[in-house]
Structure 1
């Protein structure tokens, strides 16, 4: 992005408080560890400017608050938490947007969560950025616990997917995508209306990077 374009965007979205509500954004609304990193990488390969785990929340007086930094308006796609928590907000405020619910085999997802929260929780707790503190609070709110609990996490996984699918039922701007099942390119590219690339779909590590 050129300096002139950046200044133009800052004037539009920070100074004038304009909103990019008519843009055809793509929102990845699947939970973490369902292929969100892979989806974000795939969207970038397809020409979308995608950001994984965007800083759209802050924590004030132990309350999770939505925020929208002006520069996020320059992105075409956002994936992973906190995005899934706000899927109704994005649907109501971005009428031309498309939504992708990444899903995964329940057993594999639980195993990935167990590895992620057992190994990475202390590292996340040490992150100084306010966004990460808010993200941890959101994880606790969505899953019922920061520490991995199979029963709580399974219930959160099932309930989120059911709620999202029911909300978008019958909509042509909604796609359920399992990036671990075969080649996701045809389904994803057809949904987005873009040509299928010649490179392989960018799968992350089965337990660490999805």
Structure 2
């Protein structure tokens, strides 16, 4: 019986390699104007990165939306696969940067990534991803505690993009045509739907997974400290 504990899987290895490579790339890439205002979207893919990219473009920013290495010296705003980027290095290098933790409720996030990859994931795969996501949220909340140059936004919340624009002083609250989440048209596999629900049951998150939650029961004894960090920053849940 699966008990909800995390195990090490191939994604852990892959993400470790990607993080190391991206740190090295940033170390040697041209930095441009280090006093420039940069916008870094540091949440997971399938969580409104396209909408945020279009918001930046609507406000006249040079926005780069791609899973490849971010050329920070050439653009103003960056999104996609933010959870594997050298965020602390960006923060040290660009003192005027703004950071956005984009997220969505856990269940639709798991559904979206499974549909995107078009393969069957095991119950344990989904359990591991939920833990990885919670660990990233914990790191981000701790790093940016009390900071005005950071916000977290549930991209499915009403008024999510206008809230981002308001917090960072962007003139246009939404791109032309409003928010458009890239939900994807790929079919959803029945096996994944069943495995997601089994994973959420094993984690005890069946109810929580429908909500825009940053601090989760997965954080265990860290919940109180992380809740204080969450309450010290702008959050749209």
Q: Do they fold alike, i.e. is TM over 0.5?
A: yes
Distance 2:89 2:126 in 1: 29
**Which string of whole-angstrom CA distances, capped at 9 and with x for unpartnered residues, describes residues 17-42 of structure 1?**
66321110000001111111111111
SS in 2 for 1:44: helix
Structure 2, gaps ≥5 residues long: 1-29, 187-237
Q: 1:92 to 1:114 in 2, by over 3 A?
A: same
Q: 1:162 to 1:22 in 2, by over 3 A?
A: same
Q: Which residue does 1:87 correspond to in 2?
A: 87
TM-score by length of 1: 0.65
Structure 1 position 202, deviation (Å): 2.9
Contact persistence 2:39–2:100 (CA under 8 A)? yes
Structure 1 position 114, deviation (Å): 1.0
Pick the aligned partner of 2:58 from 45, 48, 51: 45
Q: 1:18 to 1:170 in 2, by over 3 A?
A: closer
Structure 2 counterparts to residues 75-154 of structure 1, below 5 A: 75-81=75-81, 84-118=84-118, 149-154=125-130
Distance 2:183 2:149 in 1: 28
Distance 2:66 2:167 in 1: 22
Structure 1 position 83, deviation (Å): 6.5
Detail structure 1 runs of 4+ shifted over 4 Å in the superposition.
none
Q: Which residue does 2:17 correspond to in 1?
A: none
Structure 1 position 55, deviation (Å): 3.0
Q: 1:180 to 1:18 in 2, by over 3 A?
A: closer
**Which string of whole-angstrom CA distances, capped at 9 and with x for unpartnered residues, describes residues 120-157 of structure 1?**
x9xxxxxxxxxxxxxxxxxxxxxxx9xx9201111111
Contact persistence 1:54–1:78 (CA under 8 A)? no
Contact persistence 1:184–1:201 (CA under 8 A)? no
SS in 2 for 1:160: helix
Q: Which residue does 2:134 correspond to in 1?
A: 158
Distance 2:83 2:75 in 1: 13
Structure 1, gaps ≥5 residues long: 1-16, 57-67, 122-144
Structure 1 position 204, deviation (Å): 2.2
Q: 1:87 to 1:18 in 2, by over 3 A?
A: closer
SS in 2 for 1:101: strand
Q: 1:88 to 1:96 in 2, by over 3 A?
A: same
Q: Which residue does 2:178 correspond to in 1?
A: 201
Q: Which residue does 1:26 correspond to in 2?
A: 39
Distance 2:185 2:38 in 1: 27
Distance 1:83 1:50 in 2: 18
TM-score by length of 2: 0.58
Q: 1:22 to 1:84 in 2, by over 3 A?
A: farther
